[in-house]
Amino acid sequence: MPTVGKGVREIRIHKPHEHRVIYIAQFAEAIYILHAFEKKTPKTSQKDIEIARTAYAKIKEIRKS
């Protein structure tokens, strides 16, 4: 999901409802779940994208320390 950040990926779960898990797995120490949610519309909401972007930014900042 380049709209969230470089290397960010998405898992799509279609049963019984639509769910998404947005994660980053490019760091050797862990796979980080940025956001998981149930979709209620065909398009991913801007709010959900922003939640994932914020989590990604925090992870990058922590890793710099």
pLDDT in tens, 17-65: 999 999 999 988 899 999 999 998 889 999 999 999 999 999 999 888 7
Query: What's the pTM value of the predicted model, to 2 decimals?
Result: 0.89
How many CA atoms are closer than 13 Å to the CA of 48, on its beta-carbon side?
19
Distance separating alpha carbons of residues 48 and 60, to the nearest angstrom:
19
Distance separating alpha carbons of residues 22 and 64, to the nearest angstrom:
22
